[in-house]
Amino acid sequence: MRILDISQPLGSGTAVWPGDRPVEVGWTLKRGSGDSVNVAALVMSVHAGTHVDGPHHCDDGGRRPAELDLAAFVGSAVVVDARGRESLDLDAVAGIDLHDAERVLFRTRDAVDPGVFPRRFAALTPALARRLGEEGVRLVGTDAPSVDPFDSKTLTAHRALGAGGVAILENLVLDNVAPGRYTLVALPLRLVEADSSPVRAVLLETPA
């Protein structure tokens, strides 16, 4: 079995959504300063790097990360090569049996630079977001920073996916991942007060 890390590296150079809190790493204790151990402290947005967009992100009554069904974040997944598209519409999943694809991950870019925020990216259309929910898809992931366009104020795709019970993974790194089927593991932290959560997302590739 091969493990493919599809998470963005997190550090002070990680690009975040414009206006969001940057990643800050400090040190509470340092051996170089005479302390017996090194102890780091991390301050960051829960949307920095690869993360789960939780229901509370768009809905004040939505579930927090600690309340999410973890089964949505572990299991069979299909990676779809959607590069070159302006948006992700129904034709992006043409030929895919969505009844058998519980988790759908879209590769929309040739390469992800974690230090650069892309203002232009392929987002999901409301029609595709609704279709994924209707077909019983449990999770949708993208290597873009959002499932909605950068300038969206209504977050229609977020809301349609939420209404359909579809979990959302954003800021994946699928540069070296071939289209096909894998096993996804991308567990959110058990955060009881936040709206969303960073994750360490991996794909498991089992030899044929």
Condensed to tens digits (0 to 9), the pLDDT of residues 36-90 reads: 999 999 999 999 999 999 999 999 999 999 999 999 999 999 999 999 999 999 9
Within a domain: residue 71? yes
Alpha carbon dihedral 177, 185, 205, 80, in 10-degree steps, equals -40
For residue 34, give both structure tokens: 């005479």
Neighbours of 38 (CB within 10 A): 12
For residue 199, give both structure tokens: 């994750």
pLDDT of residue 208: 60
Within a domain: residue 36? no
- Interacting residues of 91 by C-beta distance below 8 A, sequence separation 6+: none
CATH number of the structural domain spanning residue 120:
3.50.30.50
- Helix (H) or strand (E) segment spanning residue 52: strand 51-53
Neighbours of 61 (CB within 10 A): 6
pLDDT of residue 64: 97
Amino acid present at 184: L
Within a domain: residue 37? no
pLDDT of residue 99: 82
Within a domain: residue 19? no
Domain count, the chain: 1
Within a domain: residue 198? yes
Within a domain: residue 16? no
Q: Cα(14)–Cα(133) distance, rounded to whole angstroms? A: 31
Within a domain: residue 21? no
Within a domain: residue 32? no
Question: Which residues have a catalytic role annotated?
Answer: 57
Residues 134-158, mean pLDDT to the nearest whole number: 97
Q: pLDDT, tens digit, for every residue of 170-206?
A: 999 999 999 999 999 999 999 999 999 999 999 999 7
Range of the domain at 68: 2-9+46-205
pLDDT of residue 101: 85
